[in-house]
Structure 1
């Protein structure tokens, strides 16, 4: 977003202000008065909110920067326009320490490329700055940062198929929920819903960990293998995938449910819905569902479930659809 009525100096001043507010709002001593002043600043011009959101994105990228007491030498520098967001936000995340861009890159603290991608209503194919190809499912979002010693992707939500360019000295790491997937060059799919993650390997090999805080790179997957984990899992669950596995049907716009219990099918469906479908109780969750569905029409599926399953729909107080099993009538004597 740009405003042609602003001069470069005015635009830079807004960016600097956004960096200041990003730092202050994340500080433990930020006051209520400051927060009110920030809200007034953000509402004063559409570009203010846009620049602040950009700073929040970069905040995650620079989250691994060392704290100031680890830095002995500081080299002041004026970032170029293409580095402005990364340079300022890096300084913000290091508590306003003005790290030099070249030093940050050489030490592995700052990326030399940052990309953000979203897919809303259509499957989207994108190319990362390292040449890797990514296909994003509906409602998916990820960021990519290219560091000197690694390439880092954060899958914020949704699902993505990766075809990673090979570079043994420059590993490719995907973070999803609490876990990570480490590769050097391969093809694999990552599905995420809430705190659940599923990794399917197509070719090559990957190392999967269910906890970013654990030492080591995790368990190794070979082709036609799958890893699953959720929040709190110490290690991923590893299994073999079948020849007719349909987990990648989304790339053709389809969701294939192979006679799954609703407890297993609903996370796959809910990924596409603004209001997730719930089950009323355990017995309802054991009812099985199959079929092939268009991923753009899954809202219609929810409304049709009472016509194909022994269930009826209600809504909870949050407005979520709730599936309730229809009690079976006892046989007449």
Structure 2
């Protein structure tokens, strides 16, 4: 399903249309939306340019304050009791807007960026060109000897120049890029940075605001507002919205493990290992035993046999497993 979102900043919408747009954003990110709701939203947003502009403006404003709203929810859980205001006047100013935005955050929670259990795509993923489901991997043969492999739960938009694909926007997930070497740079945009290469192989992982770029073969230039990194084979760098790390070496057996059908953990915290397994497994595994949360995990686990991997972790850390409806597995 593609949801049209304006790429340019529109004029300020009317208060009534803006209230409708906030209500749509709340519904579509609440986890309660159904397919019929998505169809109704499509009809609403396509009914007139003013509807499209109103939703685009609301989404732009939400994107601007969403990190602060999430932090507010983390520090003040009681904010979840706020209710979405039905309307506001155009003269209500910044204070009223922030209140409305915080209310949307309270109602939608972190589902705007990370939908619960992955049951509904986040707003940034509505208009993507290619998307993989849980546990799915897909290869895209693009122009001029460019092949891209998308890992599980990955969403991308294609950047084109005429009939030629010159790059990708990695909205969420993980992609491996193989370049035969045609003398032209291929660009992968993720967050505020971008990675460029003419030949070789590199990977870009974009999860929860953190981007990791790994050069497997050849060289990759990583451009970020905070600096530029030139990666050689078996090197990687990590960046966030405001910072970029130095260059570090990567163990040969760790990259690209997922393309070989395995997950590799090297002194990885148990809670992080389980979160990685969750990306590949339908449903959700929840660790509720705080005493083992930070215990290290090392090993290679087959992606095709993740239930076996979970049983091994259960035995290694003396955990009790309880299966619940909806694919939920609780480890305690």
With structure 2 as the length reference, what TM-score do the two structures score?
Answer: 0.55
CA distance in 2 between partners of 1:228 and 1:247 (Å): 15
TM-fit CA distance, 1:187: 0.8
- 1:228 and 2:238 aligned: yes
Q: Secondary structure at the match of 2:297?
A: strand
Mapped to 2, the partners of 1:141 and 1:125 lie a distance apart of 13
Other structure's SS at 1:32 match: helix
User: Which of 255, 259, 272 pairs up with 2:263?
Assistant: 255
Cα distance between partner residues in 2 of 1:50 and 1:304: 49
Separation (CA, whole Å) in 1 of partners of 2:275 and 2:38: 40
RMSD: 4.6
How far the C-alpha of 1:127 sits from its partner, in A, is 1.2
Instruction: Call closer, same or farther: CA 1:223–1:147 in 2, change over 3 Å.
Output: same
Question: Of the two structures, which has the highest relative contact order with CA contacts closer than 8 Å and spacing of 6 or more?
Answer: 2
State the alpha-carbon separation in 1 of the partners of residues 37 and 330 from structure 2: 42
The counterpart of 2:130, out of the listed 104, 110, 117, is 117
Q: Which of 279, 297, 302 lines up with 1:294 in the alignment?
A: 302
Q: SS of the counterpart of 2:247? A: strand
Match of 1:269 in 2: 277
Counterpart contact for 1:115–1:128, Cα < 8 Å: no
Partner of 2:42: 49
Per-residue deviation, 1:30: 4.2
State the 1:116 CA deviation.
Answer: 1.7
Match of 1:308 in 2: 316
CA drift at 1:153: 1.1
Deviations 1:168-201 (A, max 9, x none): 4x43221223432122222111223212222221
Deviation at 1:249, TM superposition (A): 1.9
**8 Å contact from structure 2 (residues 144, 182) kept in 1:** no
Distance 1:260 1:151, change over 3 A: same
The residue number in structure 1 matching 2:170 is: 155
Q: Deviations over 1:277-307 (max 9, x none)?
A: 45765x6343122333232443664466332
1:124, CA displacement in angstroms? 1.0
Q: Distance in 2 between matches of 1:224 and 1:256?
A: 16
Partner residue in 1 for 2:292? 284
Change (3 A) 1:22 1:305: same
Matched, 1:28 2:12: yes
Superposition deviation, residue 154 in structure 1: 1.0
Number of the residue aligned with 1:197: 211
- Equivalent of 2:155 in 125, 129, 141: 141
| Counterparts in 2 of 1:321 and 1:180: CA distance versus 1, 3 Å | farther
TM superposition score normalised by structure 1: 0.55
Any idea what SS the aligned residue of 2:292 has? helix
Aligned equivalents of 2:9, 2:154: Cα separation in 1: 27
Q: Judge conservation of contact 2:140–2:148 (CA < 8 Å) in 1.
A: yes
Q: Distance in 2 between matches of 1:205 and 1:136?
A: 21
Equivalent pairs, count: 239
**Runs of 5+ unmatched residues, structure 2:** 25-34, 47-51, 61-126
